């Protein structure tokens, strides 16, 4: 095989209480990366569609991730890379992660699959390090593996999938603004109080239990965040109003997607999900802010060849 095209989905990470730990991918929204072998060495980005990003292979997250993979094999390319992005970076929907994931998945295919999907996560994390200053895995892991993923440990990396209710729907609301993850990480407290810790790990356990036991009430009660949401919500215009609108319209829970400005609500009913979406959109429309929205199930598949 000399040529391959891979799709990797956008993701919702943190999911309330799981900062840098929890995430799940969306259906029908993600990046496509087309990689072809060349006879010489090096990486070349031929084109990027859908976002204004550097063609310099030393600055682009996709080629930085490929470089990490090649380095571990002692190889030096050569590959041509073309990227079609679904959504710009700074959305809170794991935009850099899905480019990095699709890129390393594609090169792994072209090299005869030296790595498993799980092993590819660490290379894709290098793209995250380059884009946000932190090699977090809560977007790359779900984009790569599919399903609801947990990063149990970073050192050593230990990632696994947990069962989730198939009927769960995410209502995704993206106001057309940019929040840089690097900045959204810097403003978080370096330390949290024992009281906040107790709340957070109680909610983490509750959320995992709710997901594994199909208990929507428990999922909703546990989708709280004492660490990032209180600090980051000020970066998202009308956050409290949008959250109120979603909860009043019947959302199971509501929170920030990744580092924002995208927010999301969960529901287990398509009609309710549509009402939640309209209620959230209305808040933004009243305030003259354009939004992109969608309703998606949790994507069980993750990255794949197309």
139 binds ligand HSE (CB under 6 A): yes
Q: Closest separation between CB of residue 178 and ligand HSE, Å?
A: 12
Please choose, out of 38-46, 177-185, 199-207, 219-227, the segment that lies near ligand HSE by the rule CB under 6 A: 177-185
Binding ligand HSE by CB under 6 A: which of 13, 36, 100, 263? 13
Closer of 100 and 259 to ligand HSE (Cβ): 259
Cβ contact 4:34 at 8 Å: yes
Q: How many residues bind ligand HSE (CB under 6 A)?
A: 14
Residue 2, both tokens: 């000399």
Whole-number Å distance between alpha carbons of 138 and 125: 9
Whole-number Å distance between alpha carbons of 297 and 280: 18
Residue 133, both tokens: 């200053």
The DSSP call for residue 190 is S
Name 150's bridge partners.
22, 160
- Sign of dihedral through CA atoms 136, 256, 148, 151? positive
136 binds ligand HSE (CB under 6 A): yes
Residue 18, both tokens: 């799981």
Q: Closest separation between CB of residue 184 and ligand HSE, Å?
A: 6
Per annotation, catalytic residue among 32, 126, 128, 229: 128
181 binds ligand HSE (CB under 6 A): yes
92 binds ligand HSE (CB under 6 A): yes
Q: Closest separation between CB of residue 258 and ligand HSE, Å?
A: 3
258 binds ligand HSE (CB under 6 A): yes
Residue 293, both tokens: 């929205």
128 is catalytic: yes
Q: Closest separation between CB of residue 167 and ligand HSE, Å?
A: 26
Q: Closest separation between CB of residue 215 and ligand HSE, Å?
A: 25
Please choose, out of 13-21, 76-84, 111-119, 156-164, the segment that lies near ligand HSE by the rule CB under 6 A: 13-21
Cβ contact 99:140 at 8 Å: no
Closest chain position to ligand HSE (CB): 258
Distance of CA 64 to the CA centre of its chain: 18
Residues in the chain: 306
Closer of 20 and 32 to ligand HSE (Cβ): 20
30 binds ligand HSE (CB under 6 A): no
Exposed / middle / buried, residue 22 (Cβ in 10 Å: 0-12, 13-18, 19+): buried
Exposed / middle / buried, residue 78 (Cβ in 10 Å: 0-12, 13-18, 19+): middle
14 binds ligand HSE (CB under 6 A): yes
Per annotation, catalytic residue among 149, 181, 262, 263: 181
282 is catalytic: no
Q: Which of residues 196-255 bind ligand HSE (CB under 6 A)?
A: 228
138 binds ligand HSE (CB under 6 A): yes
Long-range Cβ contacts of 115-121 (<8 Å, 24+ apart): 115/69, 117/144, 117/145, 117/302, 117/303, 118/144, 118/145, 118/159, 120/69, 120/144, 121/145, 121/157, 121/159
Closer of 231 and 270 to ligand HSE (Cβ): 231
Closer of 57 and 257 to ligand HSE (Cβ): 257
Enzyme catalytic residues: 128, 181
Interacting residue ranges for ligand HSE, rule: CB under 6 A: 13-14, 19-20, 92, 136, 138-139, 181, 184-185, 228, 258-259
């Amino acid at each position: 095989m000399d040529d391959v095209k891979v799709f990797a989905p956008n993701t919702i990470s943190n999911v309330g209480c799981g900062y840098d730990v929890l995430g799940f991918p969306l259906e029908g929204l993600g990046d496509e990366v087309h990689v072809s072998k060349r006879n010489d060495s090096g990486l070349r980005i031929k084109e990027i569609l859908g976002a204004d990003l550097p063609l310099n292979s030393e600055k682009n997250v996709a080629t930085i991730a490929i470089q990490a993979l090649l380095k571990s094999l002692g190889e030096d390319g050569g590959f041509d890379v073309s990227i079609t992005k679904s959504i710009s970076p700074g959305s809170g929907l794991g935009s850099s992660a899905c480019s990095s994931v699709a890129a390393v998945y594609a090169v792994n295919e072209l090299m005869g699959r030296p790595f498993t999907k799980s092993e590819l996560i660490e290379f894709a994390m290098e793209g995250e390090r380059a884009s946000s200053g932190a090699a977090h895995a809560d977007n790359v892991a779900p984009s790569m593996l599919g399903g609801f993923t947990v990063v149990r440990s970073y050192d050593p990396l230990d990632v696994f999938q947990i069962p989730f209710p198939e009927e769960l729907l995410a209502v995704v609301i993206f106001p057309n603004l940019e929040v840089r993850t690097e900045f959204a990480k810097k403003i978080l407290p370096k330390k949290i109080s024992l009281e906040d810790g107790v709340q957070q790990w109680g909610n983490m356990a509750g959320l995992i239990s709710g997901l594994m036991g199909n208990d929507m009430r428990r999922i909703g009660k546990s989708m709280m965040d004492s660490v990032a949401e209180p600090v980051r919500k000020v970066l998202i215009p009308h956050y409290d109003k949008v959250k109120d609108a979603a909860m009043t319209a019947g959302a199971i829970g509501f929170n920030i997607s990744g580092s924002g400005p995208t927010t999301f609500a969960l529901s287990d009913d398509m009609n309710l999900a549509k009402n939640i979406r309209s209620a959230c959109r209305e808040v933004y429309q009243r305030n003259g802010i354009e939004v992109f929205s969608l309703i998606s199930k949790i994507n069980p598949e993750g990255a794949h060849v197309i």
